[in-house]
Structure 1
Amino acid sequence: MKLAIVTAFPPSKVTLNEYGYHLAKHFAQNSEIEELILITDYTQEKKQIDFEAPNCKITVKDSWSFNSYKNIFSIYKSLKTSKPDAILFNLQFMKFGDKKIPAALGLFLPLIFRIKKIPTIVLLHNILETVDLGNAGFTENKILQKVFNTIGSILTRVILQADTVALTIGKYVEVVKQKYKAQNVIQIPHGSFETPPEPNFDLPAGSKKIMTFGKFGTYKKVEILIEAVEKLRKKTNQELEIVIAGTDSPNTPGYLDTVKQKYKRVKNLTFTGYVAEEDVPIIFGESAVVVFPYTSTTGSSGVLHQAGSYGKAVVMPNLGDLALLVEEEGYTGEFFIPGNVDSLANSLECIVEDEAYRKRIGATNYKAACSLPMEKITQMYLNEFKKIEGKKLGFKYANIG
C-alpha cells in the first residue's frame, strides 16, 4: 500500500507532531506499506526520520504552514501529485491554525478526497462536545462559547464526510453517533508510543524529580505544581526537584517566561524547553512521578500513555478524558482536586513517601501501556482501510452488474 499521512512532524512545534512521528515510524515498519508519504508542515530543520524502515520508501513533502490560508490548496496539490492508495489525517480542530478560517479550511480536505474516491480516514483527537471552552483557554464569554459550539458542530459534520472517523475514546464514539447519527465512526485507541522492556522501577540516586510534560498556559498551568511541591518540601524530608518539560501553548506565548520570573527564587526548579524525541526516554526515566496540572482536558492524553510506557507513577485530576482513560484502558494514579494546591500536595506525598506504592502504580501503568502498543494501533488503521476499499470495490461491481 502507498499510504499518505497528513500530519505535523518533528521538529515541528505544531500540536500532534509527536503522535505523527510515531504513527509514521510504525506504519513504515509494517510489511504492508510499500511507500509512506508524509504531508507535513514546513520546518527550517530537516524532518526527523531517524527510524529504520528497510522495506518502505519514505517521502516527505513539506506542504503547509500553521495559520496559512493556502493550506487547503497546497495539501491538495501534494496529495494529488503523490497518488496515494489511502490517506490518513492526524487531526484535531486547531491542527491547521488558531485563526478560524485557516483552521476550518483544512478540515474540508477529507471530504474532498473521499469525493475523489481515495480511501480516507480521519484520526480526530478531540471533540468539542467534551471540551470546557472556558477552562481550555478558548473563551470565557458564554455567547462566544455558543458560537464556537455551533461552528464546531458544523465542522464535525464536515469531518464526518470522510470514509471513516476514528476517535480514541469510546465515550467520544457514543457522543458523536448519538448527536450526529453517524455510522462511520469507530474507536481506535491512542496507543503507546514505545513499549520498552519492563523498566527498572528503582530511581536514580539523588533528588526525586517531579515532572510535568506538555504545552503549557491554557488549561495546563504549572503554578499549582510549583506551589504544591513547595508545600511538600516543608512537610517532608524528601529532596525534591521540579522539572517542567515542554513549551508554551501556541495560544499563550510567553507564559513559561512569566512563570520563570515569578518563581525565580524557588530552588531546584528546571525548565527544559522543547524536548527532542530522542531525549524523551531520558526525561521520563529519571522522573519519580509525572504530574498533570490540568483544569480541563481536550483529548486522549499522549503524556499518560508515555508515562505508562516508562512505568511511571502519575498524579492527575479525576476529570474528563483522563478519567475515561483510567476506566477504559487500565491506567491508575493518585488523583487531586483540579486547581487545589493542598490536594495536589497530598497526592504527591502519597507517592514520594511510599516507594512500594509508587512502584505498584508504575507497574500497573506499564501493563496498561503494553496492552496497546503502536504497532497494534497502526494495524487497526490498515484493517479499516481494507474494509473501506472492499466497500468501494463492492459498490463498483454492483454498479457493473
Structure 2
Amino acid sequence: MARSSASPMKIALVTTFPPSSGDLNEYGFHLASALRSNPSVEAVIYADQTAAGPELESFDVRRCWRFNSLLTAFYILRRVWKDKPDCVWFNMGFSTFANTPVAAFLSILTPFLVKCSGYYTHITLHTVFERINLEDAQVRFAGAYRMAGRAATQALLWSGDITVLLPTFRQLLLDAYRVPADQVQYRPHGTFVDSRIEAVVLPDRKQPVVLAFGYWGTYQRVEILIAAMKEVLREIPDAVLHVAGKDHPSTPGYLEGLRNQHRENRAIQFLGYVPEEEVPAVFGRARLVVLPYTSAAGTSGVVHQACQHALPIVASDIEEFTEMAREEGVAMAIYPRDDSQALAAQMLRLLQSDETCLRMSLQNLRAASGTPMPGVVDSYLELFRFRIGRQR
C-alpha cells in the first residue's frame, strides 16, 4: 500500500554507527542527527553489530549486520522486507562492510539487491575505486583487484542514484561507466554544524599542539610527520604532536609499533580512537592539523572537522586536497608529499605566525559555515521525494 503524501518519509540509513568505531561511523552519526531533527522524516538506522557500549539515546537503531560477514546482504534485505521503508540510503565506501575480498564484494551487491526488491535506493559513495592507490593500500594481486573493483562499481551504479563528494569523482564515473548524467550527483561533504555560523569567535590557542587524525598505516602514515617534528622541535622546543585515530583495518598493530618505538618521546602523544563526544576537545587543544597522506580515494572528513573548529591545515599535495581547497574555499598550506623538510617548513611557518594562523582559521570557519549538515541532508531529501513520487 502506498504511503500517504502527508506521512513522514520513512528512510532506512545503512551505516556504521556509534558506539561502533567502524569506517564512516562519525559521518553516519551526523547524517542520522540531521534526519532525526527533520519532522518530515522517520529515520531508522541499519547499523553494524558492536559490543562497544550502550546505544545513543533518541535514535532508532537496528543492528542487523556484521562486519566481514558473507551474509550482510541477506541480513539487510531481511530487515528492509520487514520495515518497508520508502528509501534505503547507504553511507559507504568499498571497505565499509568488510575488508576481506569475498565478503566485501558480496556486501557491495546489497544496494543492487535492495533495488531489485522494489525499493528506492541511494548511495553516498565516499570513495571511487579508480582513485585508490593499490600500492598504498597494500593490495596483493592488483590485477584481479582492479577487475573486481570495476565490477563492484558497476553493481553500485546499477543500484540507482549515487552521490559523490568531489566534482571530479562524478566526472570520472560518468566518463568511465557511461551512466546517465542525473544518476551520479555531486554534493558537498558537509560540516558537522547545525546551521550557518553567523558570529566568528576563535578560541585562544597558544600551545603549539599539532594534531594528526585518521585511520593510519596505509596511505596515511605518521613517520613523515615524526621526522618533520624533529625539525620543528629545534625551533619550538615545547611543540607537541597528538596522533589521534586507529589503525586502518589492513594494518593492525601499526600505531602500537610506533607508540612503542617513541615511548620515551614526550613530544609525541598517541591518543588512540577518539569517541564522537570527545572530538571537539581534541580539536580544541590543537594549533593546526596536518594531513600526511600519500594518496586518497575520497574526500577527507578531517578537513571538514578542522574547518568547523577553525584550524589551519597543512596537507600533502594530493589531488583530493587541492580540489577541496579550490571547490570549497578551504585554506591549506600544501607541501610535496614524502618531503619531510617541506612539511616541517610549512608547520613552522604557521606555528610562528599568529597572523597567518588567524587568516587561515577565519577562512576555514567560513568554509565550514557554508555547508552545514542539515542543509546538505535537505538536498538529499528533495531528491528522495522526487524519485519516490515518480515511482508511485
* TM-score normalised by length of structure 2: 0.93
Letter in 1 for 2:142: Q
1:265 deviates by 2.9
2:361 aligned with 1:353? no
| Counterpart for residue 204 of structure 2 | 203
| Counterpart for residue 167 of structure 1 | 164
Letter in 1 for 2:216: F
Report runs of 4+ in structure 1 exceeding 6 Å deviation.
none
Q: How does 1:1-400 map to 2 (within 5 A)?
A: 1-33=9-41, 35-46=42-53, 48-50=55-57, 58-139=59-140, 144-183=141-180, 184-194=183-193, 197=197, 198=199, 200-205=201-206, 207-234=207-234, 236-237=235-236, 239-393=238-392
1:255 deviates by 0.5
Of residues 256-265 and 89-98 in structure 1, the stretch that sits farther from structure 2 once superposed is 256-265
Gaps of 5+ in 1: 394-401
Letter in 2 for 1:260: R
Report the 3-state secondary structure (helix = DSSP H, G, I; strand = E; otherwise coil) of the residue aligned with 1:256: helix
Alpha-carbon distance between aligned partners in 2 of 1:6 and 1:293, rounded to the nearest angstrom: 30
Cα deviation 1:331-373 (Å, max 9, x = unaligned) = 1211111111101100101100101101111111111111111
Alpha-carbon distance between aligned partners in 1 of 2:55 and 2:360, rounded to the nearest angstrom: 33
Alpha-carbon distance between aligned partners in 2 of 1:252 and 1:195, rounded to the nearest angstrom: 35
Letter in 1 for 2:43: L
Alpha-carbon distance between aligned partners in 1 of 2:200 and 2:309, rounded to the nearest angstrom: 6
Evaluate the alpha carbon distance shift between residue 233 and residue 46 of structure 1 in structure 2; reply closer, same or farther with a 3 A threshold: closer
Alpha-carbon distance between aligned partners in 2 of 1:48 and 1:309, rounded to the nearest angstrom: 26
Do 2:214 and 2:244's aligned partners in 1 also have CA atoms closer than 8 Å?
yes
1:253 deviates by 0.8
Letter in 1 for 2:20: S
1:199 deviates by 5.5
| Counterpart for residue 398 of structure 1 | none
1:301 deviates by 0.4
Letter in 2 for 1:227: A
Evaluate the alpha carbon distance shift between residue 195 and residue 281 of structure 1 in structure 2; reply closer, same or farther with a 3 A threshold: farther
Report the 3-state secondary structure (helix = DSSP H, G, I; strand = E; otherwise coil) of the residue aligned with 1:219: coil
Report the 3-state secondary structure (helix = DSSP H, G, I; strand = E; otherwise coil) of the residue aligned with 1:95: coil
1:46 deviates by 4.3
Do 1:86 and 1:385's aligned partners in 2 also have CA atoms closer than 8 Å?
yes
Do 2:205 and 2:287's aligned partners in 1 also have CA atoms closer than 8 Å?
no
1:145 deviates by 2.1
Do 1:71 and 1:106's aligned partners in 2 also have CA atoms closer than 8 Å?
yes
Cα deviation 1:261-300 (Å, max 9, x = unaligned) = 2222322221111111111111111100000011111211
Alpha-carbon distance between aligned partners in 1 of 2:349 and 2:193, rounded to the nearest angstrom: 28
* TM-score normalised by length of structure 1: 0.91
Do 1:92 and 1:125's aligned partners in 2 also have CA atoms closer than 8 Å?
yes
Do 1:195 and 1:309's aligned partners in 2 also have CA atoms closer than 8 Å?
no
Gaps of 5+ in 2: 1-8
1:237 deviates by 3.7
Do 1:217 and 1:249's aligned partners in 2 also have CA atoms closer than 8 Å?
yes
Letter in 1 for 2:332: G
Report the 3-state secondary structure (helix = DSSP H, G, I; strand = E; otherwise coil) of the residue aligned with 1:31: coil
| Counterpart for residue 399 of structure 1 | none
Letter in 1 for 2:386: K
Letter in 1 for 2:225: L
Report the 3-state secondary structure (helix = DSSP H, G, I; strand = E; otherwise coil) of the residue aligned with 2:60: strand
Cα deviation 1:142-164 (Å, max 9, x = unaligned) = xx222222111111110011220
Do 1:5 and 1:38's aligned partners in 2 also have CA atoms closer than 8 Å?
yes
Evaluate the alpha carbon distance shift between residue 112 and residue 91 of structure 1 in structure 2; reply closer, same or farther with a 3 A threshold: same
Count of residue correspondences: 380
| Counterpart for residue 397 of structure 1 | none
| Counterpart for residue 4 of structure 2 | none
Cα deviation 1:167-190 (Å, max 9, x = unaligned) = 111101101011111111111221
